[in-house]
């Protein structure tokens, strides 16, 4: 049996009952995907995720790829999983028509991505060629589109983004890899990069690396970085593969989780020339790379949410089958019958905790994916792009933190059995921890949220989103009066939290250490704002579910009742925390930053 348990019914609810994507699927830029086509696609993805694609989940963990003489050898099971995805052409789903792809709406692409990422996250990380091809197709020269982007799609080439360096870490602007101009858009690259996902494997005919390096004479920091196309194999004029390029895997990380994904050290220009081609002929590396980074951050948020969802559903099945102890009302009766553990109060609490947050994280990323559709549908309104920017650090940062945290509750339901490899939860936890670190740690996401997405924007996008939430608070149904009041109260707390941090930031213009007071509470803001948004989305889900419940088919009644329960539980569990975080930010005096290092 497959470890992976999907929740296609909730995906369908988000898409068609809440976001109403059927109103624009099948028309305009998405004319190739109406509702029937979309659901047929998702059902097939579900079948593949549960079956052939997910089949290597455990084996890739137990028999990880190996570095042999500079080449990484993947297990046969991993190759079989990749074959299943590529042979079905699912890598083409979100690729633009211009490159021969299917041009699916982003909401549908990410809905499919949830199931692939949940069933086999380590292996799904190899499927990035389409994204990199899209970036080159958008930003590259016409020659680069034809020479690189098109064959990346047509010939299923692998691809990576190459940012991190051993001594720079998250401080990308401190990178020292250098680019020496040869002629035209051709450069020679030298340096060492670390933690490069899918940096090497023997599966792909070719691998195209998008590399950030500092050009000769480039200024310090990120402004001096340029982005280069650096292939594993050079390409001849006729499109055939040529000589091996001077970029090689010189190390393979041995990791806590996602062991089936190759995480490489790449060395460039050590013993042979490393040829790179300046993307688009312009030195705008960090801006260009953010096209990749933003997609990668979305992927990690979706991965986190999906892993929590399958963890919860595994725990739920176990709780319905595992018989242990008497009902609490008969605990003193030694002859009382034993019951399924789902009948025990604390197990029910843990299950509802997981359910409400799993559905909440899905609601958050699906709403964010929907804004990507809106960008294409309403190109004249820049609000949707700004809203997507605002949401992204929450999708990535909050989802990764809560996903990892609550998977421990999934394991707890299993008791000691969950700590063994008899069940997938222990691997879920190991595979999920990387999500809080990948593509910018949670602290980086929180700083980005406050300083770039709120303060730099002067709160304009947040205010427009807040107005929409307030409309619901004032106008929802009588059924959820107390929950709407709690939502309104928490929203006020978040607004106060933002105001406090803005005050600290303004004060730092005269007294620089005041900025520490803001930095100590940006993570708290990310948590509170994420929880307000999720509570709003889940309550709107509950309104839809409540309206549908009376006339629902018998098979759907439990689902709708569960949607209402998730909203009520989440509101009660999450929203009271906003006031605590705001109070902590208000009384902050910065003492921690003055504590001597020796006191730690």
Catalytic residues: 439
- Nearest-angstrom CA–CA distance, 599 and 438: 30
Kindly give the residue spans of alpha helices, DSSP state H, lying in 508-521: 515-519
- Nearest-angstrom CA–CA distance, 16 and 22: 6
Contact (Cβ atoms closer than 8 angstroms) between residue 473 and residue 484: yes
Q: Which residues of 514-539 are buried (b: 16+ CB within 10 A; e: fewer)?
A: bbbbbbbbbbbbbbbbbbbbbbbbbb
Question: Which are the contacts of 548, defined by CB distance < 8 A and separation ≥ 6?
Answer: 17, 556, 560
Burial of 553 (0-12, 13-18, 19+ CB in 10 A): exposed
The angle subtended at Cα 496 by Cα 490 and Cα 497, nearest 5°, is 90
- Nearest-angstrom CA–CA distance, 180 and 190: 8
Contact (Cβ atoms closer than 8 angstroms) between residue 225 and residue 179: no
Q: How many CA atoms lie within 13 A of 500 on its CB side?
A: 25
Closest alpha carbon to 118 in 8, 263, 252 = 8
Closest alpha carbon to 482 in 539, 551, 562 = 539
Q: Can you give the length of the chain in residues?
A: 600
Q: How many CA atoms lie within 13 A of 502 on its CB side?
A: 14
């Amino acid at each position: 049996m497959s470890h992976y348990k999907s929740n296609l019914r909730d995906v369908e609810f988000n898409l068609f009952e809440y976001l109403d994507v059927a109103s624009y699927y099948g028309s305009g830029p998405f004319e190739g995907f109406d509702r029937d086509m979309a659901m047929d696609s998702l059902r097939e993805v579900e079948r593949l995720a549960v079956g052939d694609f997910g089949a290597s989940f455990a084996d890739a963990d137990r028999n990880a790829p190996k570095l042999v003489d500079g080449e990484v050898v993947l297990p046969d099971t991993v190759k079989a999983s990749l074959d299943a995805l590529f042979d079905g052409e699912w890598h083409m789903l979100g690729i633009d028509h211009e490159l021969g792809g299917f041009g699916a709406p982003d909401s549908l692409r990410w809905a499919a991505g949830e199931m692939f990422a949940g069933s086999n996250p380590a292996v799904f990380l190899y499927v990035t060629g389409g994204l990199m091809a899209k970036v080159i197709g958008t930003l590259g020269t016409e020659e680069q589109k034809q020479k690189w982007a098109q064959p990346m799609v047509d010939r299923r080439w692998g691809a990576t983004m190459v940012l991190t360096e051993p001594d720079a870490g998250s401080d990308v602007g401190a990178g020292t890899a250098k680019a020496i101009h040869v002629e035209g858009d051709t450069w020679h690259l030298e340096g060492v990069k670390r933690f490069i996902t899918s940096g090497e494997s023997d599966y792909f005919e070719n691998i195209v690396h998008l590399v950030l390096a500092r050009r000769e004479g480039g200024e310090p920091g990120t402004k001096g970085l340029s982005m280069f196309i650096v292939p594993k194999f050079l390409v001849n004029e006729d499109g055939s593969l040529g000589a091996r390029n001077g970029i090689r895997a010189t190390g393979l990380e041995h990791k806590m989780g996602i062991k089936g994904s190759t995480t490489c050290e790449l060395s460039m220009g050590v013993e042979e020339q490393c040829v790179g081609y300046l993307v688009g002929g312009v030195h705008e590396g960090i801006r260009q790379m953010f096209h990749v980074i933003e997609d990668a951050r979305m992927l990690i948020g979706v991965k986190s949410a999906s892993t929590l969802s399958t963890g919860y559903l595994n725990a739920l099945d176990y709780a319905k089958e595992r018989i242990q102890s008497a009902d609490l009302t008969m605990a003193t009766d030694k002859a009382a019958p034993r019951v399924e553990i789902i009948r025990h109060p604390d197990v029910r609490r843990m299950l509802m905790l997981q359910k409400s947050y799993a559905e909440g994280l899905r609601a958050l990323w699906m709403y964010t994916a929907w804004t990507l559709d809106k960008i294409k549908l309403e190109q004249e309104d820049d609000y949707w792009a700004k809203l997507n920017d605002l949401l992204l650090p929450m999708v990535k940062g909050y989802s990764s933190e809560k996903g990892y945290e609550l998977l421990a509750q999934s394991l707890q339901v299993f008791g000691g059995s969950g700590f063994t490899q008899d069940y997938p939860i222990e691997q879920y936890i190991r595979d999920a921890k990387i999500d809080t670190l990948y593509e910018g740690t949670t602290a980086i996401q929180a700083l980005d949220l406050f300083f770039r997405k709120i303060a730099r924007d002067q709160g304009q996008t947040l205010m427009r989103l807040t107005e929409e939430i307030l409309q619901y608070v004032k106008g929802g149904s009588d059924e959820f009066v107390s929950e709407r009041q709690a939502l309104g109260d928490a929203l006020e707390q978040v607004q106060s939290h933002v105001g406090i941090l803005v005050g600290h930031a303004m004060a730092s213009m005269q007294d620089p250490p005041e900025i520490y007071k803001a930095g100590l509470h940006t993570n708290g803001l990310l948590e509170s704002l994420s929880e307000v948004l999720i509570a709003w989305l889940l309550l709107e889900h509950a309104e839809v579910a409540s309206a549908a419940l009376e006339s629902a088919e018998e098979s759907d009644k439990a689902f709708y009742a569960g949607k209402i329960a998730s909203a009520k539980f989440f509101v009660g569990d999450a929203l009271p925390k906003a006031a605590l975080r705001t109070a902590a930010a208000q009384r902050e005096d910065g003492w921690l930053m003055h504590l001597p290092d020796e006191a730690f």
